[in-house]
Amino acid sequence: MKIKVQAKTPAKVRQLVFNLLDVFQKIGIPLDDTDRRVERMAKACLAVGKIKKSFAEAISEENDSFVRTRDIITFAVQNYGENISPGSYDDIRRKDLRLLVEAGVVINSSSKENQATNNPSRGYALGKSFVELLYSYGSQEWNLRLSAYLKEAQSLKEELEHKRNLMIVPVTLPDGKQISLSYGEHNDLQKAIIEKFLPLFGFGAEVLYVGDTKEKFLHMDEKVLKEIRFFVLEHDELPDVVAYSHEKNLLYLIEAYHSTGEWNEIRVRKVKRKLKESGCTADVVFFTAFETKNAFKQKAKDIAWETEVWIAESPEHLVHFNGYKFLDIHK
């Protein structure tokens, strides 16, 4: 499986990531997230096994070689061309390693018997069976090893699909229509945009498009999009939510920032050019939505001028980056 990886990733590591994702697919680990999130998961797994050039280097729990989340960050920065903040160790645990721990691919030492909480070796290691599977990748033994591994471990994909069906995010659109987003922090923010932001600042806007990590075109009103001559939706240019106010002839292009996706100068210029080429008849306002003020602070320097920011934890307020257009509308 190939995805778009960070440009600074060495060629050898890039191939290791692709091969590891192939293994993940074969053993049933869901890979239906963004390319960046999937890349982070793969690199975290490689770092836990201290793999630099080949799966043959992989070290398992048998060697009692447990690494801390901070060590994983350091290893990834030094060997994988990553630029991860040292303070992001909680993301390693909650996001990058969560599925792998649930699948038994990665072992958390706190789950092992007789492991003291103050043990300096406390951390993460690759499971013995998974390392043996990696050793056989690309060899004649691969199919036999894979069959044995799958018999030993229940497919995480089936288990998680069941859980996800129970943990969908229900969303009510302004017209009362119900849609369901897959479970995740990013989609929780999209729900807040639709159910909290638009009623406050949308001037009766209807939702013309909303995507989901599992279904990119979950909801789309092609009729109205064509009426206002919006450009053909392309994957790289899709904002998370597109809404339109007939009252103000105002088109909202809204990004739900999670780990990427803010409206920066380059993206705004690109989309404005596309809108001009298509002859869009609506006035356009760009919004970047954040879950918290802290998340906003981390990206504030990258937000483009003449755009707006909405923060879910302070829903009745907006941050204007010299956005005269939206201010004028409210006068």
What CATH code is carried by the domain that includes residue 148? 1.10.10.1820
Banded model confidence at residue 180, pLDDT cuts 50, 70, 90: confident
What CATH code is carried by the domain that includes residue 240? 3.40.1350.80
How do beta strands 241-245 and 250-256 pair?
antiparallel
Whether the pLDDT of residue 115 is over 80: the answer is no
Residue 2 lies in a domain: no
- pLDDT 10s digits, 309-327: 999 999 999 999 976 666 5
Whether the pLDDT of residue 122 is over 70: the answer is no
Query: Cα torsion at 288, 33, 90, 7 (round to 10°)?
Result: -80
Asked if 136 and 167 count as a contact pair (C-beta separation under 8 A), the reply is: no
Residue 228 lies in a domain: yes
Give the model's pLDDT for residue 216.
78
Asked if 37 and 95 count as a contact pair (C-beta separation under 8 A), the reply is: yes
Give the model's pLDDT for residue 238.
79
* Among candidate residues 118, 147, 164, the one where a domain is terminated: 164
Banded model confidence at residue 301, pLDDT cuts 50, 70, 90: very high
Residue 4 lies in a domain: no
Please compute the mean of the pLDDT values over residues 1-6 and round it to a whole number: 87
Residue 6 lies in a domain: no
Whether the pLDDT of residue 154 is over 90: the answer is no
Cα-flanking dihedrals φ and ψ of residue 124, to 5°?
A: -130, 145
- pLDDT 10s digits, 59-86: 998 877 799 999 999 999 999 999 998 8
Are 186 and 221 within one domain? Answer: yes
pTM equals 0.55
* Among candidate residues 164, 186, 212, the one where a domain is terminated: 164
* Among candidate residues 113, 132, 164, the one where a domain is terminated: 164
Are 31 and 67 within one domain? Answer: yes
Please compute the mean of the pLDDT values over residues 25-31 and round it to a whole number: 91
Tokens of 143: 């199919």
Banded model confidence at residue 243, pLDDT cuts 50, 70, 90: very high
Reported as type and span, the H/E element at residue 130 is helix 128-135
Are 144 and 219 within one domain? Answer: no
Question: How many domains does the chain contain in total?
Answer: 2
Are 31 and 148 within one domain? Answer: yes
Residue 111 lies in a domain: yes
User: Is pLDDT larger for residue 93 or for residue 213?
Assistant: 93
- pLDDT 10s digits, 44-53: 999 999 999 9
Residues of the chain above pLDDT 70, percent: 88
Are 126 and 206 within one domain? Answer: no
Are 109 and 42 within one domain? Answer: yes
CA 146: distance to chain centroid?
Answer: 28
User: Is pLDDT larger for residue 154 or for residue 186?
Assistant: 186
Are 171 and 313 within one domain? Answer: yes
Are 315 and 185 within one domain? Answer: yes
Asked if 37 and 119 count as a contact pair (C-beta separation under 8 A), the reply is: no
Count the neighbouring beta carbons within 10 Å of the beta carbon of residue 33: 18
List the domain range (segments joined by +) for residue 53.
11-164
Residue 3 lies in a domain: no
